[in-house]
Amino acid sequence: MNRRFRVLFVCALNQWRSPTAETLYRNDPRLEVRSAGVRTHAKRHISAADLKWADAIFVMDREQRRIIQERFQDLPLPSIQVLDIPDNLTYMDGELQRLLKAALDPEINALLALSPPDA
């Protein structure tokens, strides 16, 4: 039996966008999901362990990708996809959910089709 694909969702403070994505995909049987933030005061701060755990990382903007790449430059990083989701909606806001699903569904489906996780 194959393990589930591990997806890390990242935003600035792990307050609205990445926790919403984690909640939306928490019950997807194909995935294991986590969320984290890159800023100092994030509710859950991104760690090297998160990056080693993840098969794919989805960040909400390019700045977060840059921060991860700079801060963890000594680690082999999985694929980091930028979603370009604005930081103006609150946790589980209907519009935020719509934007996340529209951006993530095709990306996750493509990743799973190309590289299913190892057993």
Per-residue pLDDT averaged across 1-13, rounded?
91
CA distance 92 to 15: 10
Per-residue pLDDT averaged across 85-114, rounded?
96
pLDDT tier at 116, thresholds 50, 70, 90: low
pTM of the model: 0.94
pLDDT of res. 66: 98
Q: What share of the chain has pLDDT > 90, as a percent?
A: 92
Residue 37 structural domain = 5-114
Domain count, the chain: 1
CB 69 within 8 A of CB 80: yes
- The answer as to whether 43 is a domain residue is yes
- The answer as to whether 119 is a domain residue is no
pLDDT of res. 114: 85
- The answer as to whether 15 is a domain residue is yes
Tokens of 107: 């990306």
pLDDT of res. 119: 44
- Label residues 67-101 b or e (16+ Cβ within 10 Å = b): bbeeebeeeeebebbbbebeeebeeeeeebbebbe
pLDDT for 33-47, tens place per residue?
Answer: 999 999 999 999 999
Statement: residue 117 has pLDDT above 70? no
Statement: residue 1 has pLDDT above 60? no
CA distance 115 to 117: 6
CATH label of the domain that carries residue 89: 3.40.50.2300
By C-alpha distance, which of 33, 46, 24, 35 is closest to 4? 33
User: What single string gives the DSSP state of each residue in 75-86?
Assistant: SPP-EEEE----
Average pLDDT, the chain: 95
Per-residue pLDDT averaged across 69-77, rounded?
97
